[in-house]
Amino acid sequence: MTVHLSILIFWPLLLAVLGALAPRAVAPLFALVGALVPLGYAVIMIVDFEPGAGLQYVTDDAWIEELGIRYSLGVDGLNLWLVALTTLLFAASALWIAFRPPLRPKLFAVHFGIAETAVLGAFLAQDLALFVLFFDLMLVPFYFLVGQWGGPERIQAAVKMVIYTLVGSLLMLAAAVATAVLAAPDAETISFSFAYLRENLLGEGTQKLLFTAFALAFLIKMPAFPFHGWMPDTYRNMPLPALAVFSGVVSKVAAYGFLRIVLPLFPAAAEDWQMILLVLALLSILYGSIQAFTQTNIRLILGYSSVAQLGFITLGIFALDPDGTGAQGALLQAINHGLVVAPLFLIIALLAARAGGSEDIRDMGGIAFRAPLLATLFLIVTLATLAMPGSANFVGEFLILLGVFESKMAVAIIGSIGVILASVYALRMYIRSMHNRQGPTVTSFEMSLRDAVVIVPLVAAILAFALFPQRALDAGEPAVQAASQAVTEGGR
Amino acid sequence: MKGPVIDWEALSPLIALTGGVCVVLMVGLMRAAFVRRHVVPVLTLIALGTTIGLGIWQWDANASIIEDSLAIDNLTLALTMVFCTGGIATVLLSWRSGAKEEAGEGEYFALLLTSILGMVVLVAAQNLVVLFLGFELLSIPLYVLCATHMRREQSLESGLKYLIIGSVGSATLLYGLAFLYGATGSTDYAGIAEAATDDVLLFTGIALVVAGLAFKASVAPFHQWTPDVYEGAPTPVTGFMAVATKAAAFGVMLRLFDVALIDFATTWGPALAVLAIVTIVVGNVGAIGQSSLKRLLAYSSVAQAGYMLAGVVVSTDLGVAATVFYLAVYTVMNLAAFAVIVARERETGLGDDISSLYGLGAERPALAWPMTIAMLALAGMPATAGFFGKLYLIQATVHNDYGWLGVAIVVGSAISLAYYLRVIAAVWMRSPSEAVVPAAPRQPVIAGGSQEADAEGPAVAVVRRPWQWELVFVAVVCALATIVLGVYPEPLFDVARDAGEALSGLV
């Protein structure tokens, strides 16, 4: 029983609120401290983590006894690295914001703090109702971030995003309540605890129904084809530092939800509907990749590439091979994708500053000319995105495909096309923006120190992770295997 | 011969209200402006505060008084507190309103207290005659209150419309009550529960009673009056109607259906469930296109009535507790919203149009945040009390095999975001310059057509009041309550559970 996780979760929110009350001069400091302390916490937790020891830093208190909801948090291999990713990306974005304050910076910081609290809460919750609560809460700050600081169509985009994703989330809320109520023998003993629900599985018919609600919520959040309708508007209009964390971690909560909730709680349904999910994943990969190399808005290229990457992650989760290789690859890839996509979105801001404010790759070109450092960093991230051998992304995609190959060979073969397509769109984006003939409005200049302070550590994290992916794999292995094997063993 | 035994203690909340009515009415006759403007509202507040205090004192007493015609149990007391909270907020919102000056302060506040008295009688009633008594005692003052803006045509229209439709509702209810009596030979709830058998007379009676109460609770398809009346009535009165009247209507439904008619739950349950779904859909869809905030909240209140009806349908003590919990939560979230609307009406001269909120976020954070929190809570977002209200209702429905009703609640909430988010967008994401300035308001005709009064005309000029402390107070307190109950709802859960247990005989 410790308070560490509670501090980790609520620290950003607390500091953001304090910052809002503090004088204008020191307010940015609060936001920065609010984002950096959790990062420190996460690093200590990684060092301190014992693989295979189950849940650690467990906090478990009665919260709302009437409804059987407990305030229950814990870290295991499944969420440890995702928590670290979250704190890293939020810290990077907070630093970025500190250097380039938006309008009404205090209010921005408040929403940013709520967002980090909600995401961390969703990752750490060990109680289904608590997870749903944080999962839904994530949406509120991003609604404001898009609607107040977004591009020209910000209000429509914000409303569209919220309605799309909340339809899924609210169905999930009903499904979560149903899961707990139906699993409990009588009204007095209702429990939303993951541990309890894993022990008391529901009948197969009920599982299918509830599986649908949860899967829908997560697929919309990712977004996966054909539930990605909100994505283009949102990505076009969200301010870039917010988009970096949104694309980097919020979509990962959905992938995590599959591993934490759907597979362990609805194993029979997961096995029955494995093929449907695999097909959706394949469609996401193909559709996302094809869209990514036809789009010209660089934000949308990344947006659709995320659809494709999350397709890969879904593919790995539902590989359901006996060793859990696919799911391991999926977890690794979730971290990898977060690590590459956040710096890419921040780099977009730099590219736009050099292309006369345009985010269209047709207006870019030749930016590398006088900006070798920027070009190098961008190249590293691009190569990581297309899963160059040597990058952690390569390991992730390899494991995913290996896992799928063992269970559904045909799917794996089609899926591997996605790897090729990724190099097409990633290289196209890089070449069109950095090389080629210099665009008419382009002025090439090197990145400044304040940009480098944010982006260099992120690129360093990618490189470090490429060298030591084993560390995350080892930590995650027992937890991921347990999740995946709940299905394979339960089914047989 | 021995005199009747009177349980003065249990009766005390009713006495406090009645006493309040008399005192306020008398003091209101004084001529001094200070007395009328400030002493009268303060006396009203004291009466309401005393009632709440006496209610807390009588908690768990569970008395059944006056020949078992009134039950002063935890359900009654919990709802009494809801009514009084609504009343207190209404008094504060009316403090600087023109309506009470036009109608006379004493009368205005006395009517308000009378209406609350009627609500308490209504939810405490264990007898069909007392039920109707309470119903009328609640309704008639409200008809008048709606029309207190005597210089505004819409206010008069609203009062008249409410009177006509309300009377139809009352007549329907009375007709239904007569059928119930005819079928069972008893006006007592207990007697009805005992004597009731499967017969057409009883079912006709139930159907008519449902229709009559549905008028008051604005349950579709009996909701059509709601937007017009809400829009026309003075905004503080609208706020009062939205929260207190609704709570009263649901209070009486809980007791009538879950005590007197509980044996027929399988008959009226599905019927009410269908009504609930229709209400959720009609309310939420109707609200989408509204540009008047009061109309928007009127439709939203219709939708919320649908959610709460789901709690009545499940007819378990969990369902009752969930309904009471939701009513309490619904009250605070709505009051916060209405306080902001009243404030903006007085500040901007744009009336209750949604454009009156444009730029509020930058201009007045103390009003903008409460509005935002209220809207998020009404939509059921987490970290607000609305989330647990919905969770509780869904849990109650799933628990009694009405899972599809839970799904309907969820789908309704999803639709509702379309308009709640528009309000939030107006607060934070639009600038005041986008507002369309309306044409000069029509010169209203005073009732009866006084030419001198018409010639004077009301001041149209926009008065910017820098600090309307009572409105900010209501908005901030209600918003804080919404957040606190969203993080730590345990105390309210206890109250709701006690209220649910008051209705014995439930599963």
- What was the pLDDT predicted at B458? 45
Q: Cis link prior to A239 (omega < 30° from 0)?
A: no
Note every long-range contact of A424-430, with CB atoms under 8 Å and residues 24 or more positions apart, other chains counting. A424/A289, A424/A293, A425/A289, A425/A292, A425/A293, A425/A301, A425/A304, A425/A305, A426/A305, A426/A382, A426/A383, A426/A385, A426/A386, A427/A382, A427/A386, A428/A293, A429/A298, A429/A301, A429/A302, A429/A361, A429/A382, A430/A378, A430/A379, A430/A382
Contact call for A67 and B387, based on CB within 8 A: no
Contacts of B403 in chain A (CB under 8 A): 174, 178
- Mutant choice from A104, A149, A181, A238 vs B, greatest count of B C-beta within 10 A: A181
* CB-CB contact of A79 with A61 (8 Å): no
- Mutant choice from B393, B421, B423 vs A, greatest count of A C-beta within 10 A: B421
Contacts of B388 in chain A (CB under 8 A): 64, 67
- Mutant choice from B316, B394, B416, B434 vs A, greatest count of A C-beta within 10 A: B394
> How confident is residue B235, by pLDDT bands cut at 50, 70 and 90?
very high
Q: Which two tokens stand for residue B54?
A: 């006496």
> How confident is residue B278, by pLDDT bands cut at 50, 70 and 90?
very high
Average pLDDT, chain A: 90
Higher-pLDDT residue of A463 and A1 is: A463
Contacts of B375 in chain A (CB under 8 A): none
Contact call for A137 and B394, based on CB within 8 A: no
Contact call for B394 and A67, based on CB within 8 A: no
Contact call for A174 and B406, based on CB within 8 A: yes
ipTM: 0.90
- What was the pLDDT predicted at B456? 45
- Mutant choice from B369, B373, B381 vs A, greatest count of A C-beta within 10 A: B381
- What was the pLDDT predicted at B465? 55
Distance from C-alpha of B366 to C-alpha of B360, rounded to nearest angstrom:
9
Sign of the torsion angle spanned by Cα atoms B56, B61, B62, B64: negative
- What was the pLDDT predicted at B460? 41
Nearest CA in chain A to B431: A148
Contacts of B421 in chain A (CB under 8 A): 143, 158-159, 162-163
Q: Among A53-57, A255-259, B131-135, where is mean pLDDT lowest?
A: A53-57
Check whether B5 has a pLDDT greater than 80. Answer: no
Sign of the torsion angle spanned by Cα atoms A158, A161, A167, A173: negative
Which of A129, A170, A182 has its CB closest to that of B414? A170
Which of B381, B399, B410 has its CB closest to that of A171? B410
Contact call for A182 and B430, based on CB within 8 A: no
Q: Which residues pair with A360 in a beta bridge?
A: A297
Contact call for B398 and A182, based on CB within 8 A: yes
State the count of interchain CB pairs (< 8 A) between A and B. 99
Average pLDDT, chain B: 88
Write down the domain spans for chain A.
Answer: 273-492
CA angle centred on A404, ends A403 and A406, rounded to 5°: 70
CA distance to partner chain A, nearest, from residue B299 (Å) = 19
Q: Which residues pair with A70 in a beta bridge?
A: A62
Check whether A122 has a pLDDT greater than 70. Answer: yes
- What was the pLDDT predicted at B151? 81
> How confident is residue B403, by pLDDT bands cut at 50, 70 and 90?
confident
Contacts of A143 in chain B (CB under 8 A): 421, 424
Condensed to tens digits (0 to 9), the pLDDT of residues B287-342 reads: 998 999 999 999 999 999 999 999 999 888 888 999 999 999 999 999 999 999 99
> How confident is residue A492, by pLDDT bands cut at 50, 70 and 90?
very low
CA distance to partner chain A, nearest, from residue B468 (Å) = 22
Q: Which residues pair with A69 in a beta bridge?
A: A64
Condensed to tens digits (0 to 9), the pLDDT of residues B86-95 reads: 999 999 999 8
CA-wise closest residue to A252 among A170, A147, A336 = A336
Condensed to tens digits (0 to 9), the pLDDT of residues B409-439 reads: 999 998 999 899 999 999 998 888 877 665 5
Higher-pLDDT residue of A94 and A477 is: A94
For the beta carbon of residue B218, count every other beta carbon within 10 angstroms.
29
* CB-CB contact of A10 with A117 (8 Å): yes
Q: Which two tokens stand for residue A274?
A: 């494995």
CA distance to partner chain B, nearest, from residue A139 (Å) = 9
Condensed to tens digits (0 to 9), the pLDDT of residues A140-196 reads: 999 999 999 988 888 899 989 998 888 888 889 999 999 998 888 776 788 899 989
Which of A129, A134, A159 has its CB closest to that of B425? A159
Residues of B with CB under 8 A from a CB of A: 318, 361-362, 376, 380-383, 387-388, 390-392, 394-395, 398-399, 403, 406-407, 409-411, 413-414, 417-418, 421-422, 424-425, 428-430, 489-490, 493-494, 497
